[in-house]
Amino acid sequence: MIINHPLLGPRDAAEFIYKGDASLIDRPDGMAEGALAAFDAYLHLRDNPAGLHRELWYHEQGDRSWLVVTRNTLTHEITRVELARDVARAQGRGR
Amino acid sequence: MTQPFRLSGGQIDRSRLVRFQWNDRWMSGHPGDTLASALMANGVRLVGRSFKYHRPRGIFSAGTEEPNALVQLRKGAAQEPNTRATTVELFDGLYATSQNHRGSLEWDLLAINDLLAPLLSAGFYYKTFMWPAKLWEKLYEPAIRSAAGLGRLSERPDPDCYVHGFLHCDLLVIGGGPAGLAAALAAGRAGLRVIVADEDFRLGGRLNSDREEVDGQPGTDWAKAAVAELIAMPRVRVMPRSTVFGAFDHGIYGALERMTDHLRQSDGKPRQVAWRIYAKRALLAAGATERAIAFGNNDRPGIMLAGAVRSYVNRFGAAPGRRVAVFANNDDGLRTADDLRAAGIEVASVLDARTGAAIVDTRGRKALRQIILADGTRIDADCLAVSGGWSPNVHLTCHQRGRPVWSDRISGFVPGGVLPPGLSVTGAANGTMTLGAALREGHVEGSRLAAELGQRPAKGGPPVAADASFAVTPIWHVGASRARSWVDLQNDVTTKDVTQAYQEGFRAVEHVKRYTTLGMATDQGRTSGLLGLGVLADLSGKPVAEIGTTMFRPPYTPVAIGAFAGRARGKAYRATRLTPSHDWATETGASFTEAGLWMRAQWFARDGEAGWRDSVDREVMMTRRSVGVCDVSTLGKIDIQGRDSAEFLNRVYANAFLKLPVGRVRYGLMLREDGFVYDDGTTARLAQTHFVMTTTTANAAGVLRHLEFARQCLWPDLDVHLISTTDSWAQFAVAGPNARALVSRVVDDLDLSNDAFPFMACAECTVFGGTPARLFRISFSGELAYEVAVPARFGDAMMRALMQVGAAFDAVAYGVEALGVMRIEKGHAAGGELNGQTTARMLGLGAMVSDRKDAIGGTLSRRPEMQAEAGLRLMGFRPVDRTQNLMAGAHFLTQGAATDTAHDQGWLSSVAWSPELGHSIGLGFLLNGENRLGERLRAYNPLRGQDILVEVCSPHHLDPEGVRQRG
């Protein structure tokens, strides 16, 4: 597989480490009401789509960027690669 | 040295003789021969025994589809079983033997299996050898194992070397036959970066085996000229002996290039290269494979594919027989007869299945003698050329989502479904079965791909050749045959087996394949797959199109595991990391142990010590009495800077970090988000916005990954920057009552008094008159201790200097064993305790987890299940009989309770011999442990045969108040 790194261009998948669903960005607030249930869902519940899947890859043998890769689980086609930091910010995560 | 079956002509170099050994008999051939063609020229008909029935078998094909002529090549450690004689390039000194027979090839004792055939039909292993059951292990299985398999491995390390290589191109042309060459020429002339890979050592494909003309010259001459033109193009790479074995994601192709297999010796060069080819486009021009027809006793030596007969006659100048009969369901029958006559070989008969001719049986035990037709006619022949038509080599189109579809026009499966992105197919592989059309199609496709990649196609039209008639009628087996008719020669599957499987209810083609093993041998059913489908179609009354075909998966042909491994063998399997003091430790006679990638000094034996325990006990005692030095550079070190560093640490550690003062170190407990302990270490605050974190050796990379995740994905706007400095700093623990005295002689101008530099203090400083350094007052051993770090390039000098200065105090170097003993004596958790299944509460660190902040893992660590009052707790253990030794892994049982898992009370995670206490000690987890001090339990270890009484004590076996480390 080849991942088209937004900063470094096309890189072989062997340089990356896979983490999992990009929903791991959406960490709940641990101090909020119902945090226990929210963390249980955050950690254990995943969609299992046949088709487009957004997932986290880490460029460990490279620039240590975390990326959000949109991959078609049926064809392995990669349709989009973003810096996870940009995705997190766009989803309202900050400090 | 005669070659009685050698003909004139062919593409072999008759000016040179190549000598080789077959079953320890010397024979000769010529450069350009394969082992198969040379054996044929020498009149060898019987080359092997079949897999199950040990039937005599001969050469069947002239390529990778070969099911019969599998031989053992070379001898000694380089011996390679199951090599296709039809693809082995002949070289001087080649040594080959036949395989799969007990006794000689001619008189194989296991040929008795042929008489037992009724017992060995499809799925026999599900039905026989069932009774009596106890005989299975003692008799049946060993007997079957010794009889099964084909060749034998040398069972010695592979002496050859293999490498991996990486190539990039615009267009990868897979197959250098007429279509592939025409496409490569068009693309190369247009300026594309092209790779042409072909599994053969001579490019040209069928042009070398058939007598057809291209552009008015013999096809083989045209191919030679085309290859020469391609080689001359600077952007084209021609790769003979290279099999593209897999089509992987995103335009990546795997190819195996055989570099030295055709040479007598590799002379240190890599034997094979496993290439990873990154191609913008790929063109499959892999041609087609001829199929057989099933009829009675169709497996005798001398019965061959018609196309192979033409290959041996035209390309290799080797006669497959003196009197040859031809049996075909297509126009290749006549073409074969023409070629045989042109070579001066007698044609016994041309039998066209389309006109009703049918062979029902054959005669000749070790070589074909006679064929018998349905009407009883007997025809003498020593070779029978069979053609059941051709199947496109669609394999690579299936490696992702492709599903071949049936074509009535060619009576075969052509590429279908979704092909690997960027891959197109041309020529016979695409079902274009005639030469002129294949050349045109290849040319057009090469030009189209050039245009698609932005190059202007070169002028000039396609190479021109005639389109000989290709008409085929699907006839797969002769139903009138009463004798056994082979479908799969390599796995000994007959039409009867397929029929039986069908009658037993196996209808889906994938089920029939697995039940009968049809197509599951190393040839992957290249010549037999369609026969099986044809038999199934007749049984079910459905057309083959509806039966469908089984799936092709990588690799296209077998690839040696060594080629996949490449250089990553033995010690080179992964990197080895050496500590800064490694050279010094080696000189000092250290024994080393592997810790992840690291080599760490385990102990430093001295003269007169009888075993490792002597050394380790001495290192511990000398450290605890005076001072010891240990290289701890392997611990992970992460430099953390930025205005929000303290806030960041406060969120990734379970305990509080916001208020850590500059110049102080704090123990940090890191949880996973699920609440279990991930890692621990110390973090020092060197400045308001500058921290240095240490991690365990094992988790150094993982913790950095985890922190980067937190920094980039969870809190992207925190001002924090991370970098690993594990390799930048050499760090040494200096521990023991004399540690301060030693360190004060090393460090420049730093007040080390307990008031000025107390326990858990840190500072940036210099050592030995100006060498930059960092000093941390932390202790893993429980002693008064410091860790001093210097830039890694000074590490070796620092170790030597510490020992030199330390000589005044009788300082000792200690290794990881002594380190382990001291941390167990002190009750510090390490690998055995931080195993991913333990919680802060279990480790006795529950109070550290702050519930006033939202740190990673905090919320789920407060799950009720993880806070159970009577849960497992880290405790200390010692044997009641102090002369006994504890064993890690033992489980605790209450005395008198049943010895089963239901009564499991916990386990012993780490043990050591304490030289200070003079007996064995341990750390472990015990249910409700903190309330069971003094209780006596069984420590039961059935794996290592131990069952002893232990006594529960504090995990701090030594100095529980921590007086020493604070002193």
Domain CATH number, residue B102: 3.10.20.440
Question: pLDDT per residue over B291-333, tens digit each?
Answer: 999 999 999 999 999 999 999 999 999 999 999 999 999 999 9
Q: What is the CATH number of the domain that holds B737?
A: 3.30.1360.120
Query: The whole model's pTM is what?
Result: 0.91
Question: pLDDT per residue over B842-877, tens digit each?
Answer: 999 999 999 999 999 999 999 988 888 789 999 999
**Of B821, B818, B833, which Cα lies nearest the Cα of B919?**
B821
Q: How many structural domains comprise chain B? A: 5
- Which pLDDT belongs to residue B550? 81
**Inter-chain contact B713–A84, Cβ cutoff 8 Å?**
yes
Q: What is the mean pLDDT of residues B721-732?
A: 97
Strands B288-290 and B70-73: unpaired
Here the tokens at position B240 are 């003979």
- Which pLDDT belongs to residue B129? 67
Q: Is the pLDDT of residue B1 over 60?
A: no
Q: Is residue B647 part of a domain?
A: yes
The residues facing B370 across adjacent strands are B363, B380
DSSP string, B908-929: EEEEEEETTTTEEEEEEEEETG
Q: Is the pLDDT of residue B136 over 80?
A: no
CA–CA gap between residue B716 and residue A92 (Å, rounded) = 10
**Inter-chain contact B714–A64, Cβ cutoff 8 Å?**
no
Least confident of B206-215, B466-475, B681-690, B881-890: B466-475
Residue A79 Cα, gap to closest chain B Cα (Å) = 12
Q: Is the pLDDT of residue B128 over 70?
A: no
Q: What is the mean pLDDT of residues B601-615?
A: 96
CA–CA gap between residue B173 and residue B160 (Å, rounded) = 29
> Would residue B22 be called left, alpha or beta, if left means φ above 0 and alpha means ψ between -120 and 50 degrees?
beta
When CB atoms are compared, the residue of A1, A83, A89 closest to B249 is: A1
- Is the same domain home to B179 and B237? yes
Q: Is residue B753 part of a domain?
A: yes
From the CB of residue B533, how many other CB atoms can be counted at a distance below 10 Å?
27
Q: What is the mean pLDDT of residues A17-43?
A: 96
CA–CA gap between residue B73 and residue B556 (Å, rounded) = 21
When CB atoms are compared, the residue of B705, B853, B858 closest to A17 is: B705
Strands B729-735 and B721-724: unpaired
Mean pLDDT, chain A, integer: 96
Q: Is residue B324 part of a domain?
A: no
Residue B578, Cβ density class (10 Å: 0-12 exposed, 13-18 middle, ≥19 buried): middle
Least confident of A23-27, B369-373, B478-482: B478-482
Q: Which residues of A touch B860 (CB under 8 A)?
A: 36, 39-40, 43
Q: What's the 3-state SS for B375-393?
A: CCCEEECCEEEEECCEEEC
Reduced to 3 states (helix: H, G, I; strand: E, B; else coil), residue B80 is strand
- Is the same domain home to B750 and B790? yes
DSSP string, B155-172: -S---S-EEEEEEEEEEE
Q: Which residues of A touch B851 (CB under 8 A)?
A: none
**Of B915, B912, B923, B918, which Cα lies nearest the Cα of B955?**
B923
- Which pLDDT belongs to residue B452? 97
From the CB of residue B868, how many other CB atoms can be counted at a distance below 10 Å?
13
Q: Is residue B537 part of a domain?
A: no
- Is the same domain home to B169 and B225? yes
Q: Is residue B909 part of a domain?
A: yes
Residue B522 Cα, gap to closest chain A Cα (Å) = 28
Q: Is the pLDDT of residue B144 over 80?
A: no
Strands B872-879 and B919-927: antiparallel
DSSP string, B813-828: E--HHHHHHHHHHHT-
- Which pLDDT belongs to residue B119? 72
Q: Which residues of B touch A36 (CB under 8 A)?
A: 859-860, 862-863
User: The domain A2-90 is classified under which CATH number: 3.40.50.920, 3.30.465.10, 3.30.2270.10, 3.50.50.60?
Assistant: 3.30.2270.10
Q: What is the mean pLDDT of residues B934-942?
A: 97
| Residue B532: its H or E element | helix B529-540
Sheet containing B690-695: which strands, arranged edge to edge? B665-671, B677-687, B690-695, B636-641, B721-724
**Inter-chain contact A29–B854, Cβ cutoff 8 Å?**
yes
Among residues B724, B755, B774, the one where a domain terminates is B724
CA–CA gap between residue B500 and residue B105 (Å, rounded) = 31
| Residue B963: its H or E element | helix B963-966
- Is the same domain home to B703 and B749? no
Q: Which residue of A has its CA nearest to B710?
A: A25
Letter string b/e over residues A17-29, b meaning 16 or more CB atoms within 10 A of that residue's CB:
bebebbebbebbe
| Residue B498: its H or E element | helix B495-503
Q: Which residues of A touch B401 (CB under 8 A)?
A: 74-75
Residue B764 Cα, gap to closest chain A Cα (Å) = 28
Interface mutation target, options B711, B849, B859, chain A, most CBs of A under 10 Å: B859
Among residues B724, B750, B776, the one where a domain terminates is B724
Distance separating the N- and C-terminal Cα atoms of chain B: 92
- Which pLDDT belongs to residue B130? 67
Q: Which residues of A touch B278 (CB under 8 A)?
A: 2
Among residues B452, B468, B496, the one where a domain terminates is B452
B717 in Cβ contact with A89 (< 8 Å): yes
Here the tokens at position B477 are 């087996």
- Is the same domain home to B629 and B713? no
Q: Which residues of A touch B248 (CB under 8 A)?
A: 1
When CB atoms are compared, the residue of B250, B717, B853 closest to A2 is: B250
Give Cα separations from B208 to B67, B213, B226, B240, B341 (angstroms).
Answer: 22, 11, 13, 14, 18
Q: Which residue of A has its CA nearest to B862?
A: A36
B627 in Cβ contact with B742 (< 8 Å): yes
- Is the same domain home to B760 and B718? no
Least confident of B111-115, B426-430, B518-522: B111-115
φ, ψ (nearest 5 deg) of residue B481: -70, 130
Is A92 near chain B, with CB under 8 Å? no
Q: Is residue B799 part of a domain?
A: yes
Q: What is the CATH number of the domain that holds B171?
A: 3.50.50.60
Query: What range does the domain containing B62 cover?
Result: 18-124
- Is the same domain home to B175 and B272? yes
**Inter-chain contact B252–A2, Cβ cutoff 8 Å?**
yes
Question: pLDDT per residue over B641-660, tens digit each?
Answer: 999 999 999 999 999 999 99
**Of B41, B47, B33, B32, which Cα lies nearest the Cα of B2?**
B41
- Is the same domain home to B277 and B399? yes
**Of B875, B862, B732, which Cα lies nearest the Cα of B806?**
B732
Half-sphere exposure of A64 (CA within 13 A, CB side): 16
When CB atoms are compared, the residue of A1, A64, A89 closest to B716 is: A89
Q: Which of residues 10-69 of A touch B (CB under 8 A)?
A: 17, 19, 24-25, 27-31, 35-36, 39-40, 42-43, 56, 58, 60, 64-66
Q: What is the mean pLDDT of residues B427-431?
A: 98
Question: pLDDT per residue over B96-125, tens digit each?
Answer: 999 888 888 888 887 778 877 777 777 776
- Is the same domain home to B798 and B864? no
Half-sphere exposure of B570 (CA within 13 A, CB side): 5
Q: Which residues of B touch A60 (CB under 8 A)?
A: 701, 705
The residues facing B167 across adjacent strands are B277
Interface mutation target, options A7, A45, A64, chain B, most CBs of B under 10 Å: A64
- Is the same domain home to B732 and B687? no
- Is the same domain home to B739 and B700? no
- Is the same domain home to B911 and B955? yes
B210 in Cβ contact with B336 (< 8 Å): no
